[in-house]
Amino acid sequence: MKAVCSECHTGVEQVLSYSCPLCGGVLLLDYEKPQGSWMDPTENGIWKYHQLLPEVHKENRLYAGEGMTPLIKSVALAKRLGLKELYFKYEGGNPTGSYKDRIAAMGISWTLANGRQACIGTSSGNAGAAVAAYAAKAGIPYHLYALEHMAEAKLEQMLAYNAQVRKVAGFGVSPEVGERVFSHIFAAAQRKDWEVMITAYRYNPFAMEGVKTIAFELADQMAAMPSHVYAPAGGAGLYLGIWKGFNELFRFGYTSGKPQMVAVQSSGCSNIARAYANGQSVPAPGESTSLISGLQVPNPPDGKAALSVMAAGDGSAMSVEDEGIWEAQRMLAAEEGIFCEPAGAASVAGLIQACARAEQPHGNPVVCIISGVGFKDGARLSAMVSNKVVPTLQAESLDI
């Protein structure tokens, strides 16, 4: 399998490690244009696009219903923002409730194809649940290092799938702690020949190829290419993966253009957005103060690669306050009937802010990636409805 370094642009003829052998940068797998159609209608989910994914024999391809998530047209927000067409790509429709199922399906299938007996990784919630589910399906152990303070619903979901979870103090807040955890995981994986299931291109470019199937589905589902795609950004793997998918379709001549990708971060953890605003090529340092689970990534593994995409003119980055993200979450539920977790609403919060600042053109279709379902964060759900009173009526005095 060939690859190209996203940072020094060195071509790698055979991927023997998961980072560039010259500079240690993020490797992006490189494909030949498929013979005939790039879609296989006989396959399900992400495997419909197996010709543009790492090669995994059919007997090792795991499928649990991931992919082919709904593309929902806005009924209220588009009018409010003055947009001609607005769509929500709802990744909460995946089996464990987030886009991470695409990565898990690809990554655990790759694990089986390479004969590895276990996997190890990190998570703030969604990745842990997804990998745990697919590891359970594959019958292999999953060792997981998680944030000390995380949404209980996400932790419980991991445990339900029998993941072997350890919390780490300071993880998700301190960049130094994050680097120490990542180093430990790689050393353990190398020593035991386990698969590293950290959902970042820097740490597993094979598993992350599942993300780009979002772009493939959008190209398949939409009559016209969107002008902009807004995506939540914590570690920036979602942003980079969707860009990569669109870029491949354009490079192979399957589409006539590609959208501008907009990474939306919480202002409390805006390392990529601050670097972009200052014209820097590496994420700005700083601890996370955000309360948005999934966006608390003080050392984003794919941040430098995402900034390289932006520097080449294919996208941008912005940040919004946590309060704006929570308001977008409320609005999606109350006005669009879409219940998502706070991180999933970051894309919409970014679009609202861009429109308020007249930074978003009103013409072509716009897509917001809604990355996960709302039941992932029970505490936030309780906060959303805390001011609502449900009366108890006597049967003989019903009021409607």
Give pLDDT, residue 152.
Answer: 85
Q: Which amino acid is at 260?
A: Q
Q: Which two tokens stand for residue 42?
A: 């006989």
pLDDT tens string 46-55: 999 999 999 9
Give the closest residue to 70 by CA, choosing from 210, 207, 214: 214
- Residue 154 pLDDT more than 90? no
pLDDT over 90 at 22, yes or no: no
Residue 69 has pLDDT above 80, yes or no: yes
The interaxial angle of helices 126-138 and 100-113, nearest 10 deg, is 40
pLDDT digits (tens, 9 = 90+) for 158-197: 999 999 999 999 987 888 898 899 899 999 999 999 999 9
Best CA proximity match to 95, nearest among 142, 131, 119: 131
* 143 has a pLDDT exceeding 80: yes
pTM here is 0.94
Q: Where are the beta strands (DSSP E) in 207-343?
A: 228-232, 260-266, 315-320
> What average pLDDT does this structure show over 305-329?
97
Q: Which of 149, 314, 289 is nearest to 215 (CA)?
A: 314
**Separation of alpha carbons 215 and 73, rounded Å:** 17
Q: Which CATH class is domain 71-94+207-384?
A: alpha beta
pLDDT higher than 80, residue 301:
yes
Q: Average model confidence (pLDDT) for the chain?
A: 93
The per-residue b/e assignment along 30-47, b for 16 or more CB within 10 angstroms, e otherwise, is ebeeeeeebbeeebebbb
Task: Return residue ranges of the chain for CATH 3.40.50.1100.
Answer: 71-94+207-384
Q: For the purposes of burial, counting CB atoms within 10 Å of the CB of 28, is it exposed (0-12), middle (13-18) or buried (19 or more)?
A: buried
Cα–Cα distance between 48 and 72 in angstroms, integer? 21
Q: Any idea which of 14-28, 57-71, 111-125, 197-211 has the lowest mean pLDDT?
A: 14-28
Task: Specify the pLDDT at position 193.
Answer: 94
pLDDT mean over 7-24 = 85
3-state secondary structure of 148: coil
Q: How many CA atoms lie within 13 A of 81 on its CB side?
A: 30
User: In angstroms, how far is the first alpha carbon of the chain from the final one?
Assistant: 65
